[in-house]
Every structure is written in structure tokens, then in C-alpha cells.
């Protein structure tokens, strides 16, 4: 039974490696996950007729993601869709688009020319043009007035910095409050090309927002170069009156990490979010609360969202009102809060079938139109132009019309069925998760399970599309496995008690939660408990590691990425180690309070000191410039397993990569390595790579050709006692194509009068009219019961394109000339052929073949040209032994004695 199960998993898993046909394949590949496009920075024009946005996509040549500006016109439709135009393209990324107040121009920033310039372009087209170069840089542009922009920058290099530069001193001073350099907010007059300083702060700007009328500006200021680590001192917050050039410090007390400031349209106040937690001194995890600051009354108040779990997906301002996404476990709920003085009337939002799966990305003209994004864990994001209808008792959002189409290549990919599930967790309360089903799932059958754990720990897996290089459930579903994304205790979106439950109890509830989820699936008869894998990134890796420590016989494979194993060393080396460890462990490693020595706690909580228990084959990933979980945590992890020797271990670190991998090559390598690891240790389908074997070598070609079917030394397949052409499928459930051209021996089965020297049985049949070829195909179809035909025009064009790429290296006139013959010499050279008493043809398969999808076929680039059915008379594609080949023109007609044919089988 084990052997049969492994064979089944092998058949499923190899589907991932099927190559693309014409750029498409019905099966998931690593490239499909990596190459996803993403939309961001959506913004309506002032009149609501245009939408500018950023498309980000991987660029393989640059080995990173790049972004360009796109414009969608709501006043123009083509083929029933809103017209979208790509505005920028090139070697650099463009971002931060802003419409001018008249909607005629788009201003934007770019990485081109060191990223120090402001650019613009007309909405009617044309090239981008430079507005101004800023010596000290420019970022975060916002409107002040019709012709004035606000932006963030600094004051230039100090003498201290200049001297260090002259001395080429690249020493990094870890802490230097004396030289803690501020960034400030400035204005730029587009007409006069002048710059003015708006703020006089002494500390760097973190976030800032300008009111619609340009009178008010709110900014946050980071007070310490080590604020991420210490969470102290807290930032300062200032409200600036730009008309009177005054400022007032606000939000001094009672708010943890306030941010995401958004002014109302009446310019009398702004909304913002802050965190509610039990340990705000360490910026501890908690729930997000919505507040409103009244400028006239100079005070903030909590907005009554009437929801104990707080915000889940942020908020959007509609005039003076606000729409919020409420935390709802594995989903979110929208609510509309209509402002009336200092009170708000809460209305439910009805988005039809999109309920609990929708977010707002842009608000349009007069707040009646919006762009909404709908997705589920099994549905890639869909961008819709929706109508907002505010009624007395409720607010409705229409499904609308699609405005942005991304990743259309995913439309034909099989999406894993997914559902939100729940079970009883470690504290007797409900734990949720997303469960992805195996492809072609059959009820009553048991399947492998991969537990895929999110980071944070206050992250959350919601019922939204999230396939990425770190988490890719569709590939594992395709391999025949369940994938479970558990929202263990400590996850957000489930209320304050839930997210804070693991403070002082790290690992104590999360691990039992995950085990309970596995138990529940086993009790339902859905999974094979002997076929479990576990993986995760960041805190997902931390929990992966502890699961293999506490349950050493449970998992067959583990793939932790960027996870801690030693909390004593993490405290000082992690960028936010102090605040994180103080919050979750309750003190520093050296603290001794209330008779409790924290050093013992740190050791007890560190998997490093229990690595001798681990038996699970483990592959470890880290970025070398990771400051969230420093790479040396991976070294400690690897060295322990390597020295103990109870578990196979492999350790990869990616040079110059931060906590999240950015290079495409590194993202790809991580996925490929993880897949191979699970293939080997979980699915049992891995076939080791022969590192001495080059896939483009003569031996490789011989091995490919060796797969061709041969009977008594003749190429072909024997069916009903006749020799017929072998065909190979281009892709699953598609047409098949002849591996070789039809040979003399195969054709002679049909035409008993066809004679040829026995040594040429495997030569292509020639001097056959297209009518005779069609007669052969009709006979072949009748004899086999399958439908055979010649290629059609479209197929012939594809085959000819392939042929042109290899023709110079195959059996053409260029080969027989023995040098790089030119077209002017062809006529004279061919005159020599008149005296030739020998065929120029070669046996089929003499030269390396080419791949068309899954099919590897031969002789496209030479030997004989091949018949196809054209709209008028039959024509030939490809090249023959007497064809001259160059890239400046196409081939001339080929005589019948050098024309043959290849079969297509439906």
C-alpha cells in the first residue's frame, strides 16, 4: 500500500514540471507563483473619469520587481472593457502618482536618475518629462495647493558627513544621537520652481498628511535611532497650521503607535488608528482602534465602531464619514459610520456575494464611485468599479465592472478548493484556519497534510488570495496534499484576549492549537497522519521548529524560513528584540524579579537547547541581511542539527537579502529547494539530479531520441500489424504531433507500390503530392480509429517559427555549402547539384530536436519541407536540404522531391 501511495503522489507531483505551451500551461509552476502582477496606489482623477495606478511585476533580467504607471479611462470602452494604457516603461520603477488639480497631468516619482527628480506626463499621452531635480532627494509627495506640492526630504550633507565621505570611512556607528539626522517636510512651487521649508522639527519625520485645503499638516517624529528595538522614547506628533506657521504637539498620552492619519473633507479633523494592548510601553500586540481628532476642540475621541475585535482591514474616508473593515476572524466585515457632529451612525454594508471578501482601494468623485477588490483564498484579486449607495438603514456596494485585469495566465490554472474551518483550541475557545484541499479530492480518502504557519505572531490568515514565494498552497494541492493555515493563539483579527493570550505563555497555546487542528482533520478521516509536513516563515518558522522539538515523530519534513531558535541571542541582535522579547517574555534575559530568573525562561523557551530531540528532516532558509531574525539564528539551528546528527539538515542563506526575499532568483531557489525537500522526505517522489549530466549535451539528446519507438529497426508504432508514425502529445488533453516526418517504411504500409532502398527505410518519404498525403491520412485514420490530419495554417506558423531558430544547424543548403553562403551564391551553388547522383536527405532524427510543449520532435529545421493545409492550395513550412536560410527573408517554394509531411493526431 505504501508503494501504491507513493506512486500516486509521484504522478500528481510531476505535473508541476510540465512546460508551457505558447506561454500557457494548465498546471502550477514555480514561475506562475513568482510572476504574479500586483496593483497599488490607485487614484481617481478629480472628475472621476480616469484611474491612475501602479502595476508591479517581476523582471527576470533585473532580478527584482519593477513598477510602471497605468491609466484606465472610464469614458472609453474596448470590447466591453474600460480602456487601459501603459504610461511608463523602461529600466527603472515609477511610483507615487498624483493627478494635477485639473486632471490634465500626472506627477510621479521614479527610481530613474538616482530617484531625485519629480516627473510628469500628460493624461493624453507622450513621454514623461522632468519637472525638477532635488539635490537632497524627494519622497512622499502630496498636494498643498493647486500648484504646490509637499514632499519629504532632508537638508543635505553636514560637514561631519562630508569629511567621513572624503575619508572613505564606511564604519557604521550603531548609535549616535548627536548626529541623528532629521528629515523634514518642504513645499515645491510648480510654477516658480522654488522650495520652502514647512516644518522645523529636530527629529526625522515618520508619517505626515496634509488636509485637502492645504491649511493643516499632521506629522509624526521618531525620537530615537533605536526606536524599533526599544519602543522608547515614543514618537512626537504635531499638528501644523501652515497658514499661521504654528505647530502644536498632540496625542501626547493614551495612544499606542497612532498612525494612518486621514483628514475629513471639511478640514476640521482627521481619523487615525492606534493599538490597544496591555503593554503599550513595549508597543505590544493588540487590536486596532479608530479615533477622530477634532481640530477646533483640540482633542481626540474614540469612534464607536461597536465591535469588540477592533479593525481588521483599516478604514477609508468618504467626505466626513468613514468606512471600516472590522476584524472578523478569518474574514472582515465592512461597516459605514456616518458622522453627525461628534456622533456616528453605524450602518451595515451589503456587498452582495462579495461580503466579507472585499476591500476598498480608491474612492472616487463625490464619493459615489469606488474601486473594490474581491478575492478569496481560491480566487485571485478582482478589481471592480463599484457604486456606493448610502441609504437610511444600510449602505450597499455594487459588484460593478472589472477595471483592472491582472495575471490572466492564472485563469486556466486549477485553484485549490479552500474553506474557513474552526476547531477547539488550547484554551477551550475557537481557533480558525484556512484549509486547502488536494486537487481531485475524493471524500473518504486520506491525503498528506502540510501545515503552513503564518508569521507575526500577530499575523493572520484570512480568506483572501495570498499565494507567494513564501506560501504557495496551490502547488502542494496539485501534488495531492491538504494545506492548513492555522490562526493559532496570538494571531490578530480574533480580538484582544486572543492576540495577547501568548504573552508570558509563548509556545504554550500555539503548539497545542496546531496539533488540535491536525487531530480534528484526522478524526474526520481526511488526512494520513503518517504523511505530515510543516513549514513557515518568521514566526511560522519559529513554531515549525518547536513542533519538531515537541513532536519529534510526527512530521516527515520541515521547512522553516527566517526563524529564531535562541532567544538569549535574539534579544540583542534582532532590530526589535528588546520590545518583542519584553512583551512576550516579560523581561530581559538578565532580569531577576519576583524571584524569577528570566535567563532560565529564555533558555527554556529556546528550541536550541532541545535540538537533540529533533528527528524531522529540516531545510533552513535565511537572508544574510535580515535584522528581524538575524541569519546567525540559522547558523545556530543548522550547527545543532548537523552536530547531533539525528535529522537530515540543509541550510541556505541568501546574500544581501532582508527578512523578506526580494531577488527573483532567491525567491525561485527557495521555492524549488522547499518543493524538492518535501518531494524527497514527505511525498517520496524525488529523483536526485545527476550533477555530471548536462541537459544540452549530445548524450542528453541521444537519451531523448532513445525514447522514440522502434520496431525491427524502423521508427514507428505497430498497431493492427501495421507500422504507423509515433505521435507525442503537446500537452495534456490536446493534439499530438508526429515525432518524425512520415518515413518510407511507414508510407509503404499504405502504398504497396512505393519502393525505396532498404537502407532508407527511416528516411522521410518525398515526392508525395499533398493529395497523396491526404489519402494516406484518411487510410491511417480508418485503420487506427483515430483522427489524423495535416497541420493547419496556425499550427504551421508556430512550427515554422520553431524551425527558423534551428535551421542553420540542420540539413539545409547552408550545411552543404560548408561555409556561410550568401543568397547571391545560391544559384551558382545549386548548379552543382544537377550533377549529384546521391540524395541530400538524411535519416529522420539525425539532428537534435526541438520542444513544442511536452512534445520533443525532430527535423523541423531541415531535411524536407512539410505540407500543411492552407486556406487556398496546400503549402509547405519548415526547410529542406536545398533551402537557403537567413534571417533577412523567407524561403522560396520547395520542389516535391524535397517535400514530405508530418501527422497531427486529434
Average pLDDT, rounded, for the chain:
90
Mean local confidence (pLDDT), 568-587: 91
* Residue bearing the bigger pLDDT, 12 or 292: 292
Check residue 596 and give its pLDDT. Answer: 57
Q: What is the Cβ-side half-sphere exposure of residue 759, based on CA atoms within 13 angstroms?
A: 3
pLDDT digits (tens, 9 = 90+) for 583-596: 999 888 888 655 55
Burial class (CB in 10 A: 0-12, 13-18, 19+), 832: exposed
Q: How many CB atoms sit inside 10 A of residue 187's CB?
A: 18
Which grid coordinates are listed for 835? 550533377
Which residues share a beta bridge with 12?
none
**pLDDT confidence bin for 880, thresholds 50/70/90:** confident
User: Nearest 10 degrees: CA dihedral of 272, 275, 280, 284?
Assistant: -140
Please give the Cα distance from 650 to 2 (Å, whole number): 26
Name, in order, each residue with C-beta under 8 angstroms of 591's C-beta and a sequence gap of 6 or more. Answer: 597, 598
Residue 534's closest CA among 464, 616, 653? 616
Please give the Cα distance from 19 to 853 (Å, whole number): 6
Name, in order, each residue with C-beta under 8 angstroms of 86's C-beta and a sequence gap of 6 or more. Answer: 55, 68, 69, 70
3-state SS record for 746-815: HHHCCCCCCCCCHHHCCCECCCCCHHHHHHHHHHHHHHHCCCEECCEHHHHHHHHHHHHHHHHHCCCHHH
Q: At residue 682, what are phi and psi to the nearest 5 degrees?
A: -110, -55
Check residue 720 and give its pLDDT. Answer: 85
**Percentage above 90 pLDDT, the chain:** 70
**Percentage above 70 pLDDT, the chain:** 93
* Residue bearing the bigger pLDDT, 801 or 132: 132
Q: What is the Cβ-side half-sphere exposure of residue 323, based on CA atoms within 13 angstroms?
A: 27
- Cis omega (within 30 of 0) for bond into 233: yes
Check residue 19 and give its pLDDT. Answer: 37
Check residue 830 and give its pLDDT. Answer: 79
Which grid coordinates are listed for 616? 524531522
pLDDT digits (tens, 9 = 90+) for 550-566: 999 999 999 999 999 99
Please give the Cα distance from 372 to 384 (Å, whole number): 5
pLDDT digits (tens, 9 = 90+) for 757-781: 989 999 999 988 999 999 999 999 9
Pairing mode of beta strands 81-86, 236-241: unpaired
* Residue bearing the bigger pLDDT, 78 or 522: 522
Residue 844 has pLDDT above 60, yes or no: yes
Which grid coordinates are listed for 762? 527511416
Length of the chain: 906
Check residue 90 and give its pLDDT. Answer: 81
**pLDDT confidence bin for 26, thresholds 50/70/90:** low
Residue 316 has pLDDT above 90, yes or no: yes
Residue matched to cell numbers 508525395 = 768
Residue 691 has pLDDT above 70, yes or no: no
Q: Please, what is the Cα angle at 851 between 850 and 854, to 5 degrees? A: 155
Q: At residue 299, what are phi and psi to the nearest 5 degrees?
A: -155, 155
Residue 218 backbone zone (phi > 0: left; psi -120 to 50: alpha; other: beta): beta
pLDDT digits (tens, 9 = 90+) for 502-545: 999 999 999 999 999 999 999 999 999 999 999 999 999 999 99
Pairing mode of beta strands 649-654, 618-623: parallel
Residue 41 has pLDDT above 80, yes or no: yes
Q: How many CB atoms sit inside 10 A of residue 172's CB?
A: 5
Residue 281 is given by DSSP the state G
Please give the Cα distance from 441 to 415 (Å, whole number): 12
Q: How many CB atoms sit inside 10 A of residue 827's CB?
A: 9
Check residue 10 and give its pLDDT. Answer: 36
3-state SS record for 854-889: CEEECCCCCCCEEEEECCCCCEEECCCCCCCCCCCC
pLDDT digits (tens, 9 = 90+) for 582-639: 999 988 888 865 555 556 889 999 999 999 999 999 999 999 999 999 999 999 999 9
Question: pTM (2 decimals)?
Answer: 0.80
Name, in order, each residue with C-beta under 8 angstroms of 253's C-beta and a sequence gap of 6 or more. Answer: none
Residue 24 is given by DSSP the state B
Q: Minimum mean pLDDT among 368-377, 453-462, 495-504, 729-738: which range?
A: 729-738
**pLDDT confidence bin for 819, thresholds 50/70/90:** confident
Residue 374's closest CA among 396, 395, 359? 359
Terminus-to-terminus CA distance in the chain, angstroms?
Answer: 36
Q: Please give the distance of CA 142 from its chain centroid, rounded to a whole number.
A: 29
Q: At residue 520, what are phi and psi to the nearest 5 degrees?
A: -60, -45
Residue 229 has pLDDT above 50, yes or no: yes
Amino acid at each position: 500500500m505504501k508503494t501504491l501511495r507513493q506512486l500516486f503522489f509521484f504522478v500528481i507531483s510531476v505535473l508541476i514540471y510540465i512546460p508551457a505551451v505558447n506561454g500557457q500551461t494548465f498546471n502550477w509552476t514555480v514561475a506562475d507563483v513568482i510572476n504574479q502582477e500586483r496593483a497599488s496606489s490607485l487614484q481617481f482623477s478629480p472628475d472621476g473619469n480616469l484611474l491612475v495606478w501602479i502595476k508591479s511585476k517581476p523582471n527576470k533580467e533585473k532580478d527584482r520587481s519593477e513598477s510602471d504607471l497605468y491609466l484606465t479611462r472610464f469614458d472609453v470602452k474596448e470590447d466591453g472593457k474600460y480602456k487601459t494604457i501603459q504610461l511608463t516603461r523602461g529600466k527603472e520603477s515609477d511610483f507615487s502618482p498624483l493627478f494635477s488639480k485639473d486632471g490634465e497631468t500626472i506627477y510621479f516619482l521614479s527610481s530613474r536618475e538616482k530617484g531625485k527628480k519629480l516627473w510628469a506626463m500628460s493624461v493624453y499621452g507622450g513621454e514623461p518629462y522632468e519637472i525638477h531635480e532635488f539635490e537632497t532627494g524627494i519622497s512622499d509627495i502630496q498636494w498643498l495647493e493647486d500648484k504646490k506640492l509637499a514632499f519629504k526630504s532632508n537638508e543635505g550633507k553636514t560637514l561631519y558627513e562630508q569629511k567621513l565621505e572624503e575619508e572613505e570611512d564606511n564604519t557604521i556607528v550603531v548609535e549616535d544621537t548627536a548626529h541623528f539626522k532629521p528629515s523634514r517636510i518642504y513645499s515645491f512651487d510648480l510654477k516658480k520652481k522654488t522650495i520652502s521649508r514647512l516644518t522645523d522639527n529636530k527629529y526625522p519625520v515618520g508619517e505626515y498628511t496634509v488636509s485637502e485645503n492645504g491649511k493643516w499638516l499632521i506629522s509624526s517624529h521618531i525620537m530615537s535611532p533605536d526606536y524599533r528595538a526599544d519602543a522608547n522614547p515614543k514618537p512626537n506628533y504635531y499638528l501644523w497650521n501652515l497658514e499661521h506657521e504654528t505647530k502644536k504637539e498632540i496625542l501626547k498620552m493614551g495612544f499606542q503607535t497612532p498612525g494612518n492619519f486621514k483628514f475629513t473633507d471639511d478640514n476640521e479633523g482627521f481619523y487615525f488608528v492606534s493599538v490597544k494592548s496591555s503593554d503599550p510601553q513595549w508597543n505590544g500586540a493588540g487590536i486596532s482602534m479608530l479615533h477622530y481628532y477634532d481640530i477646533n476642540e483640540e482633542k481626540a475621541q474614540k469612534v464607536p465602531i461597536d465591535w469588540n475585535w477592533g479593525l481588521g482591514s483599516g478604514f477609508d474616508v468618504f467626505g466626513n464619514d468613514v468606512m471600516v473593515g472590522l476584524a472578523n476572524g478569518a474574514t472582515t466585515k465592512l461597516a459605514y459610520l456616518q458622522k453627525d457632529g461628534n456622533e456616528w451612525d453605524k450602518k451595515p454594508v451589503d456587498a452582495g456575494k462579495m461580503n466579507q471578501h472585499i476591500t476598498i482601494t480608491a474612492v472616487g468623485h463625490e464619493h459615489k464611485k469606488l474601486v473594490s477588490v474581491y478575492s478569496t483564498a481560491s480566487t485571485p484579486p478582482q478589481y471592480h468599479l463599484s457604486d456606493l449607495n448610502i441609504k437610511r438603514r444600510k449602505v450597499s456596494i455594487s459588484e460593478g465592472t472589472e477595471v483592472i485585469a491582472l495575471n490572466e495566465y492564472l485563469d486556466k490554472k486549477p485553484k485549490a478548493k479552500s474553506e474557513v474551518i474552526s476547531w477547539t483550541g488550547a484554551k477551550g475557545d475557537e481557533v480558525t484556519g484556512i484549509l486547502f484541499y488536494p486537487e481531485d479530492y475524493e471524500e473518504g480518502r486520506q491525503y498528506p497534510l502540510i501545515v503552513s504557519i503564518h508569521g507575526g505572531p500577530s499575523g493572520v490568515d484570512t480568506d483572501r488570495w495570498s499565494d507567494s514565494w513564501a506560501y504557495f498552497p496551490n502547488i502542494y494541492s496539485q501534488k495531492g496534499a491538504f494545506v492548513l493555515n492555522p490562526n493559532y493563539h496570538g494571531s490578530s483579527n480574533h480580538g484582544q484576549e486572543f492576540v495577547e493570550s501568548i504573552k508570558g505563555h509563548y509556545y504554550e497555546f500555539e503548539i497545542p492549537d496546531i496539533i488540535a487542528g491536525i487531530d480534528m482533520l484526522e478524526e474526520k478521516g481526511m488526512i494520513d497522519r503518517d504523511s505530515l509536513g510543516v513549514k513557515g516563515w518568521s514566526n511560522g518558522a519559529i513554531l515549525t521548529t518547536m513542533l519538531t522539538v515537541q513532536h519529534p515523530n510526527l512530521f516527515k519534513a520541515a521547512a522553516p524560513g527566517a526563524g529564531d531558535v535562541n532567544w538569549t541571542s535574539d534579544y540583542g541582535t534582532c532590530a526589535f528584540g528588546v520590545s518583542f522579547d519584553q512583551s512576550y517574555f516579560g523581561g530581559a534575559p538578565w532580569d531577576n524579579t519576583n524571584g524569577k530568573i528570566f535567563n532560565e525562561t529564555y533558555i527554556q523557551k529556546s528550541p536550541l537547547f532541545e535540538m537533540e530531540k529533533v528527528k524531522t528532516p529540516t531545510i533552513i532558509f535565511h537572508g544574510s541581511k535580515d535584522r528581524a531574525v538575524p541569519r546567525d539564528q540559522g547558523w545556530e539551528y543548522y550547527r545543532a542539527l548537523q552536530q547531533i546528527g539525528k535529522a537530515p539538515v540543509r541550510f541556505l542563506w541568501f546574500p544581501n537579502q532582508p527578512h523578506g526575499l526580494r531577488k527573483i532568483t532567491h525567491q525561485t531557489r527557495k521555492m524549488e529547494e522547499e518543493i524538492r525537500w518535501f518531494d524527497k522526505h514527505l511525498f517520496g517522489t524525488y529523483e536526485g539530479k545527476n550533477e555530471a549530466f548536462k541537459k544540452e549535451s549530445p548524450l542528453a539528446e541521444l537519451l531523448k531520441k532513445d525514447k522514440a519507438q522502434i520496431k525491427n529497426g524502423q521508427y514507428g508504432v505497430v498497431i493492427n500489424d501495421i507500422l504507423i508514425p509515433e505521435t507525442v502529445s503537446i500537452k495534456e488533453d490536446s493534439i499530438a504531433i508526429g515525432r518524425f516526418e512520415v518515413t518510407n517504411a511507414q508510407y509503404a504500409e499504405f502504398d504497396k507500390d512505393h519502393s525505396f532502398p532498404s537502407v532508407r527505410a527511416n528516411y522521410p518519404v518525398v515526392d508525395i503530392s499533398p493529395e497523396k498525403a491526404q489519402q494516406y491520412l484518411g487510410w491511417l485514420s480508418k485503420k487506427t480509429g483515430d483522427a489524423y490530419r495535416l497541420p493547419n495554417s496556425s499550427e504551421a506558423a508556430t512550427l515554422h517559427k520553431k524551425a527558423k531558430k534551428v535551421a542553420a544547424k540542420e540539413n539545409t543548403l547552408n550545411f552543404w555549402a560548408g561555409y556561410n553562403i550568401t543568397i547571391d551564391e545560391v544559384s551558382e551553388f545549386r548548379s552543382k547539384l544537377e550533377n549529384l547522383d546521391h540524395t541530400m536527405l538524411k535519416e529522420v532524427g539525425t539532428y537534435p530536436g526541438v520542444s513544442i510543449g511536452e512534445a520533443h520532435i525532430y527535423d523541423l529545421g531541415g531535411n524536407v519541407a512539410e505540407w500543411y493545409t492552407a486556406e487556398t492550395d496546400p503549402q509547405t513550412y519548415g526547410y529542406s536540404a536545398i533551402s537557403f536560410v537567413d534571417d533577412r527573408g523567407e524561403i522560396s517554394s520547395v520542389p516535391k522531391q524535397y517535400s514530405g509531411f508530418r501527422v497531427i493526431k486529434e
